[in-house]
Amino acid sequence: MRNVIILGSGCAGNTAAIYTARAGLNPLVIIGHEPGGQLSLTTEVENFPGFPDGINGPDLVMNMQKQAERFGAEYIYGSVGEADLSQRPFRLNIDGEWQECRTLIIASGASARWLGLPNEQKLIGHGVSSCATCDGAFYRDRKVMVIGGGDSAMEEATFLTRFGREVTLVHRREEFRASKIMLDRARANPKVKFLLNTVVDDVYDVSRNLVTGVKLRDLKSGRAWDQEVDGFFLAIGHVPNTKPFVGQIDLDPDGYILTKGGARTNITGVFHAGDVQDRVYRQAITAAGAGCMAAIEAERFLEAEGH
Ligand code: NAP
């Protein structure tokens, strides 16, 4: 029986682990299917306070894990397949083995959607990115491309014009899911060029370990062509990692956990932290803050219950 199980090893999970471990609660952290979370997919992190020269994303999360382990947090590889939150202790099936806990902190994050191009995964962190806020500054005076037709794509395209020489927004349809105000803002920006009814068939160049261009296809004419780009940004949505909790925890229509204030979910003793609930800010520092909140709430809950 664990006092606390934390799902996820990104900024939110690691920060919850540091706090609960320091409080003497011996948390168990389930690393999940993306060890280190989304930061492990980035290169340099320049906006996490405390690192004036920036820090490598994977190093930052690894440092957090080491810090939590120093205070007794235990990390195990695995993902939750099944969960029973109908009664306490809560029960979680982790790769076939059931674990029990008094409190649960869900920090399982949201995973960026990818296009599934042959070379896409190989170039993540080398020109392929799912986060303009994280990586945009590396593309000063370069040509970048954004894929998507929602608010994120408009926001990222507009944001990238601060750095990039030219931003091409590629969308598979003519109609946009984006709100009018965000779309108008992107359209009004002379640096943003729109390519509609267009899809990407691949991204190059794995042999140079660097993005140099993409293969595009016009869906109406069928014409295919190569275009040079230095940065390739996906903004085709995220998927929150809440599958084992469907039907147990209150989720919004897209699967994000609905907060009941602070870090609370609708189930007493189950707390949320980070991108699994936050679809707005989605930053390393906000996830870390949310992990801290969840830890403090779990600690107070256990204390009130006499543990
Ligand atoms: P979204 O609204 O779901 O839009 C995803 C976009 O990606 C759609 O245009 C979709 O095309 C496209 N897409 C999905 N799969 C694709 C594929 N395989 N190939 C090509 N294109 C693909 O996601 P989002 O933009 O991340 O927004 C998510 C939520 O956050 C929304 O509620 C949004 O309003 C909100 N948000 C708000 C703000 C803001 O207000 N500042 C900023 C960002 C996000 P189709 O349209 O053809 O399906």
Q: For 49-103, give the DSSP string.
A: TT-TT-EEHHHHHHHHHHHHHHTT-EEE---EEEEE-SSSSEEEEETTEEEEEEE
Catalytic residue, candidates 135, 230, 275, 278? 135
Is the model's pTM score more than 0.85?
no
Q: Is 53 exposed, middle or buried (0-12, 13-18, 19+ CB in 10 A)?
A: exposed
Same domain, 120 and 106: no
E-state strands within the chain: 2-7, 28-30, 44-45, 55-56, 74-76, 80-84, 90-94, 97-106, 110-112, 128-129, 143-147, 166-170, 192-195, 198-204, 213-218, 224-228, 231-234, 238-240, 270-272
In degrees rounded to 5, what are phi and psi of residue 282? 55, 40
Exposure letters 264-284 (e unless 16+ CB within 10 A, then b): bbebebbbbbbbbbbeeebbb
Tell me, in angstroms, the distance from the centre of ligand 1 to residue 176's CA. Answer: 9
For residue 179, the ligand 1 atom closest to its alpha carbon is 34
Across the chain, what does the average pLDDT equal? Answer: 96
Tell me, in angstroms, the distance from the centre of ligand 1 to residue 142's CA. Answer: 24
Same domain, 204 and 275: no
How many domains in the chain? 2
Q: Whose CA is nearest to atom 31 of ligand 1?
A: 151
Instruction: Name residues contacting ligand 1 (CB within 6 A).
Output: 113, 115, 147-153, 155, 172-173, 177, 235-237, 279
Is 131 one of the catalytic residues?
A: yes
* Residue keyed to tokens 């779309």: 183
Q: Whose CA is nearest to atom 37 of ligand 1?
A: 151
Same domain, 155 and 56: no
Q: Check residue 219 and give its pLDDT.
A: 98
Residues 6+ apart with CB under 8 A from 78: 30, 31, 32, 94, 95, 97
Q: What is the mean pLDDT of residues 238-267?
A: 97
Residue from 177, 275, 282 to probe ligand 1 pocket by mutation (most atoms less than 8 Å from CB): 177
What confidence tier does 42 reach under pLDDT thresholds 50, 70, 90?
confident
Range of the domain at 218: 114-234
Q: Is 50 exposed, middle or buried (0-12, 13-18, 19+ CB in 10 A)?
A: exposed
Same domain, 21 and 64: yes
Query: At residue 259, does pLDDT exceed 80?
Result: yes
Q: Check residue 275 and give its pLDDT.
A: 97
Is 292 one of the catalytic residues?
A: no
Do 282 and 155 contact (CB within 8 A), yes or no? no
Same domain, 216 and 254: no
Q: Check residue 85 and give its pLDDT.
A: 98
Catalytic residue, candidates 11, 131, 230, 278? 131
Alpha-carbon span 133 to 217, nearest angstrom: 27
Q: Whose CA is nearest to atom 38 of ligand 1?
A: 151
Same domain, 23 and 118: no
Same domain, 106 and 182: no
- Final residue of a domain: which of 234, 249, 275? 234
- Final residue of a domain: which of 234, 252, 276? 234
